[in-house]
Structure 1
Amino acid sequence: MKIGIVTPTFYPYPGGISEYVYHTYFELRKRGHEVKIITTFFGDGLTEFEENIYRVGRSIPILSNGSIGRVAFSLQLPKKIKRILDAERFDLLHIHEPLVPTLCLISLRHSRTVNIGTFHTFAEFSLGYFIFRPFLRRYNKKLHGRIAVSESARNFVDRYFGGEYRIIPNGIDIDRFNRVGKIKKFDDGKLNILFVGRLEPRKGVKYLLKAFPLIKKKLPNSRLIIVGSGPLAGYYRQFVPRAFEEDIWFEGLVTKEDLPSYYSTCDVFCSPATGKESFGIVLLEAMASGKAIVASDIEGYRHVVTHGQEGLLVKPRDSRAIADSIVEVLSNEPLRRMLEENGKRKARQYSWKNITSRIINFYHDKMKVASVH
């Protein structure tokens, strides 16, 4: 089968969609499918398989869903996309966030094949979907199949565009996070608390920083490691008390190769997101690494972590609850070991091999229906 994958974000730009496309691309090719990716330019740093990637336009940042989204911009975008689709003649076009401008929506508009859309986003409200729903409905009707990465993502998009959605979650590269070495400078016997994520309001790192002094009172031998970058990095440094400067480390954006070692180094992983998370790939990464989790009790996270099984879920924006749960996990070794083992076991269900098999089965189902019509 000849498959085109259209994605609003891709490497070198990091994120859940980039990971999804990267791994499904390789899994599909392993099974004999011809696959091309259509995306845009994100500055320096290309992949090792650029010969199978079309990059159209330039990525520009926009404020979206309490985060910084990216859209492709080029005056020639419609013409270039149409030329690519006409030349490639894909058997199937898999579009991530198919109703989001500009690249994805234009690709759907010009597609003349079987169209599959995957919806990743969760929010309480979308002004864009609400205002442009009448316009977008005709594009939604061009989708032969719809995938949502979680119940949260499905419920969100179904509010504006009803239809049948298959839940196929994000996956995880199990081998990448299994049995890797630790970061030497942090492998000194201290209890390491790890945060991984973009430094923006909805990731909730402010509440973890406020929780850390409470943790230090009960566990003086603890340290907080923050991995990630973002527009508020400087702002969050203001929450670091001078007395704890030596034990709060801002590591910035780390390489894909180094990230598993940070997970391996930690004793507990914390994701204090305030909401608007459709799935929580960082939770899967921590589970695959065999680490106990303390995370916010929000809809997107409940689909990954069961409270008391793979981690402890706490009230969002509650620094004291975050501190109490982290102290509980770090002080109770039997509890921590149980959470780690359960998490590792559950993560295996999300291997990209399993997830891609489910995607391929969905392709075949929808292609059969399309051929009948």
Structure 2
Amino acid sequence: MSKQVINQPKLNIAMVCDPIADYTAGSFVSALRFAEILNKRGHKIIFIAARSPRHHKDNYYKNIKIYRFFSLLLPKTEKKFYVSFPLVNKIKKILAAEKIDVLHVLIPTPAAVTAIKATKTLGIKIVYHSHTQPENIFLHLPKAVAGAQINRLFYKYLAWICNKADAIVFPSEFSKKLLTKLNGGIKTAVISNGVDIDKFKKIAPEKFFAKFNLPRQTKNMLFVGRLHPEKSVDTLIKALPLILAQEPDTRLWIVGSGHLQTELEQLAQKLKVADEVIFFGKISDEDLILIYNACDLFVLPSLAELEGMVVLEAMACGKPILIANAPDSASVCFVNQNGLLFKPKNPQDLAKQALKILTDDRLRREMGEASIRDSRRYDINQSARNLEKLYYEILRT
């Protein structure tokens, strides 16, 4: 880091992220991790967020103040994603009282629009973080409603918000290509969500098997993520019988929650693989690191990803990766010598590619070593420094 950044005054940063500390998704986990790192680097961070049954008034998260506002529940989010509706004057008072230098918008909700309006007379710089993809949202809607037209309208809305910003952060080059209708004067930066390589690393997995009383001799495939349509977990479950036909000791571990869990459990029962599938639900970071290390293959069948933080975490723990070659997924870019791709929504091809890895101990080991090497390029501390540098750059303009 250059002296130019080190000698800069510390900043006051307001992050807009409605479901922070309530709802688990890669972008919100990323927001918390960046906030923690920036806070440790001496900057003051506050969040503008939603009230919820769990957090019904202003509170703190690891020394970070969270201002919470009236909200409504977003359907099909396990009763955890609330969208807030603050008034402009209230946000303006908070931004002024906290002497905010930068407004960092994480998701394009009504609160984001309100906060952007509140900055007008305060001289506050705006950063928009491109974490939202219509393919991640509208797959929840009935087919009669969802489609190309609603995607186009959503991108127009995103472009409107982006064009109010002084800078836009994209988590990947892929995500940058999705937003094209931007004013030429807006600064853009590609900054990975990153992975904490000091935390997510290769360790002995015995503690995991002992804690969950699981046999060590099985070949274990792992999925981590929300149980939502765009994650296409059904494709993974449908592939399991084909894999078991050749590797009967294979098991599938599913980490995460979502409104499709019951449906996925029923699918496993229908295909007679329920005994080979374990739904762990949401687990702690400590257990997440353990399960990454205990698995033999990490699989992401997602149809839409702007980056794919869970892939980076699996890579940092030294695991081979198997990724759906979906046109709306940036995770494809992580596959090099460390894994394979399969045709999206195709259980047969998923099984074929998975068996190539599961049946070859040497290949798994070599892919795992390549994953560790590749993950070093995505250190979250470097990402935080890049974000900090961007803040200072726009404040100088």
Q: Same fold (TM over 0.5)?
A: yes
Structure 2 residue identity aligned to 1:84: I
Which residues in structure 2 correspond to 1:125-274 (within 5 Å)?
125=148, 127=150, 130=153, 133=156, 139-159=161-181, 164-178=187-201, 179=203, 181-184=207-210, 185-240=213-268, 241=270, 243-273=272-302
Q: Deviations over 1:231-280 (max 9, x none)?
A: 1111112222464322111222223332222212111111111x221111
User: Could you tell me the TM-score, scaled by structure 1's length?
Assistant: 0.88
Contact between 2:323 and 2:332, CA under 8 Å: does it hold in 1? no
**In structure 2, which of residues 125, 139, 164 is the aligned counterpart of residue 114 of structure 1?**
125
Distance 1:256 1:155 in 2: 32
Aligned to 2:26: 16
Contact between 1:194 and 1:225, CA under 8 Å: does it hold in 2? yes
Aligned to 1:80: 90
| 1:328, distance to aligned residue in structure 2 (A) | 0.8
Structure 2 residue identity aligned to 1:251: F
Distance 1:84 1:42 in 2: 20
Aligned to 1:52: 65
Distance 1:117 1:137 in 2: 11
Q: Any idea what SS the aligned residue of 1:182 has?
A: helix
Contact between 1:123 and 1:156, CA under 8 Å: does it hold in 2? no
Structure 1 residue identity aligned to 2:314: A
Contact between 2:221 and 2:253, CA under 8 Å: does it hold in 1? yes
Q: Any idea what SS the aligned residue of 2:396 has?
A: helix
Distance 1:331 1:128 in 2: 41
Distance 1:47 1:126 in 2: 40
Structure 2 residue identity aligned to 1:105: V
When the two chains are superposed, the root-mean-square deviation of aligned CA atoms in Å is 2.7
Is 1:33 matched up with 2:56? no
Distance 2:231 2:175 in 1: 17
Change (3 A) 1:47 1:190: farther
Gaps of 5+ in 2: 1-10, 136-147
Contact between 1:7 and 1:96, CA under 8 Å: does it hold in 2? yes
| 1:115, distance to aligned residue in structure 2 (A) | 0.9
Distance 2:158 2:198 in 1: 40
Distance 2:275 2:332 in 1: 36
Change (3 A) 1:89 1:142: farther
Change (3 A) 1:43 1:329: farther
Q: Any idea what SS the aligned residue of 2:245 has?
A: helix
| 1:187, distance to aligned residue in structure 2 (A) | 4.2
Paired residues in the alignment total 361
User: Could you tell me the TM-score, scaled by structure 2's length?
Assistant: 0.83
| 1:352, distance to aligned residue in structure 2 (A) | 1.4
Q: Any idea what SS the aligned residue of 2:373 has?
A: helix
Structure 2 residue identity aligned to 1:268: L
Distance 2:149 2:187 in 1: 20
Contact between 2:50 and 2:68, CA under 8 Å: does it hold in 1? yes
Contact between 2:253 and 2:279, CA under 8 Å: does it hold in 1? yes
Distance 1:137 1:325 in 2: 38
Contact between 1:224 and 1:247, CA under 8 Å: does it hold in 2? yes
Distance 2:17 2:241 in 1: 41
Aligned to 2:359: 331
Report the identity percentage: 28
| 1:171, distance to aligned residue in structure 2 (A) | 1.1
Structure 1 residue identity aligned to 2:385: S
Distance 1:244 1:136 in 2: 42
Q: Any idea what SS the aligned residue of 2:285 has?
A: coil
Change (3 A) 1:161 1:337: farther
**In structure 2, which of residues 316, 325, 348 is the aligned counterpart of residue 288 of structure 1?**
316
| 1:117, distance to aligned residue in structure 2 (A) | 1.0
Contact between 1:280 and 1:304, CA under 8 Å: does it hold in 2? no
Q: Say which is worse superposed, 195-204 or 118-127, in terms of deviation.
A: 118-127
Contact between 2:323 and 2:335, CA under 8 Å: does it hold in 1? no
Q: Any idea what SS the aligned residue of 1:177 has?
A: coil
Q: Say which is worse superposed, 16-25 or 138-147, in terms of deviation.
A: 138-147
Distance 1:282 1:48 in 2: 23
| 1:48, distance to aligned residue in structure 2 (A) | 4.2
Structure 2 residue identity aligned to 1:279: E
